[in-house]
Amino acid sequence: MGMTMTQKILAAHAGLPEVKAGQLIEADLDLVLGNDITTPVAINEMKKMTGQTVFDRDKIALVMDHFIPNKDIKSAENCKCCREFACRHEITNYFDVGEMGIEHALLPEKGLVVAGDAVIGADSHTCTYGALGAFSTGVGSTDMAAGMVTGKAWFKVPSAIRFVLTGKPSRWVSGKDIILHIIGLIGVDGALYRSMEFTGDGIAHLSMDDRFTICNMAIEAGGKNGIFPVDEKAVEYMKEHSVREFRVYEPDADAEYDETYTIDLSQLKPTVSFPHLPENTKTIDEAGEIAIDQVVIGSCTNGRMDDMRAAAEILKGRKVKKGVRCIVIPATQAIYLQAMKEGLLEIFIEAGAVVSTPTCGPCLGGYMGILAAGERCVSTTNRNFVGRMGHVDSEIYLASPVIAAVSAVTGKLSGPCELGL
């Protein structure tokens, strides 16, 4: 039996001619990632190990992004711990205030991940890089520590689900709508420890930002990773952002998949995930009258240029409804700068929104937009668990930047038709 894309990457990194689902392997790593929350834990775990040095200072990335700029003494101490560790080990890819960004937008932008890589990160949304044809997955801080020391990680080879994407999405349907539709279809544990592998002619109509968004939320379906084939768009992106050589792996014709889903993108509608699980999806037509208090446009899921442009297209010449707080967070310094050059920041501010420096901030209930009891937020982030963005009695509605921006204007969960679009 043949191998899937993910299985081929893992076999190559384990030095094996082939692997099978369920097999335990030890694989070489191309990159180990940590952030300001997870890295201090990994550093403390390293102190318990025989090896006290990193395997390769060029293959570790430490990104200060969750509570940056520091929101309190604890976050300042965490970053100080990371900063001193990076200095002590001469970590090449250390990103702090002024050059940081939200990690899963920053690493592809910096060219640190390319097709064929095997990447672990002490953050669950590390699966984002599958958009480039890489195997990337989230791990705990102990595994991150072991990876930093040895350059290796143990994996159980995942089986796979194939998603055949066909057709062209309509104007207001984006990658966020596609992945929310899929999670609603299979559930938050529908891909548990399985690879979500995307294929089909519909991929050609998806931008790289769409693909990053889809892979980013593979974990919300329980997936071990999400992965796209490497096409011309992916190659163009890597050539623009990276000087590293990449390796293209394609699934065998007889690769085995547990299940196959065919999704006609032309039939999808803007989709929203209602509280308190990403699988609780409805199309915007089914949403009903839901008044909101806050809108967040940003995160590692939807803080890229496509997202900034989509939100600006809606907000241009319009005003955020009085009583609604609209927070826009570009995912990296480069995106922030590009948005400024294109006049998008002016559009946001004139509309009555605030624009933040890159940070995860409100996504994990960190800061820059915490919800009080009874408040509702339409957010382009990735999770809407109880208490995720603040009080346990608050509610989060996950949506695309388009839906978020429209909702900011109307003051209720709304689609483009509410504005005559």
- Average pLDDT of the chain? 96
Go through the chain and tell me how many residues it has: 421
CA distance 67 to 50: 31
Residues 6+ apart with CB under 8 A from 38: 122, 123, 141, 144
CA pseudo-torsion sign 245, 238, 159, 217: positive
Look at the pTM and tell me if it is higher than 0.75: yes
Q: Where in the chain is the domain with CATH 3.30.499.10?
A: 5-263, 272-413
- Residue with token string 């892979």: 215
- Report pLDDT for 289: 86
Instruction: Spell out the residues 6+ positions from residue 392 whose beta carbon is closer than 8 angstroms to its own.
Output: 373, 386
Q: Which CATH fold topology does 5-263 show?
A: Aconitase; domain 3 (3.30.499)
Residue 395, classed as helix, strand or coil, is strand
Over residues 249-279, the pLDDT tens digits come to 999 999 999 999 999 999 999 999 999 999 9
Bridge partners, residue 297, by sequence: 328
Q: Which of the 8 DSSP states describes residue 371?
A: B
Return contacts of 229-237, CB within 8 angstroms, 24+ apart.
229/5, 229/133, 229/198, 229/199, 229/203, 230/115, 230/132, 230/133, 231/203, 231/204, 233/204, 233/207, 233/208, 234/115, 234/131, 234/132, 234/133, 234/208, 237/108, 237/132, 237/208
pLDDT more than 70, % of the chain: 100
Cα–Cα distances (Å) from 243 to 186, 246, 273, in that order, read: 38, 9, 38
- What pLDDT does 33 receive? 98
Q: Quick one: 272-413 is in which CATH superfamily?
A: Aconitase, domain 3 (3.30.499.10)
Q: Mind listing the pLDDT tens digit of every residue in the chain (421 residues)?
A: 799 999 999 999 999 999 999 999 999 999 999 999 999 999 999 988 876 899 999 999 999 999 999 999 999 999 999 999 999 999 999 999 999 899 999 999 999 999 999 999 999 999 999 999 999 999 999 999 999 999 999 999 999 999 999 999 999 999 999 999 999 999 999 999 999 999 999 999 999 999 999 999 999 999 999 999 999 999 999 999 999 999 999 999 999 999 999 999 999 999 999 999 999 999 999 988 899 999 999 999 999 999 999 999 999 999 999 999 999 999 999 999 999 999 999 999 999 999 999 999 999 999 999 999 999 999 999 999 999 999 999 999 999 999 999 999 999 999 999 898 8
User: Which positions ≥6 away from 146 have C-beta within 8 Å?
Assistant: 45, 49, 152, 153
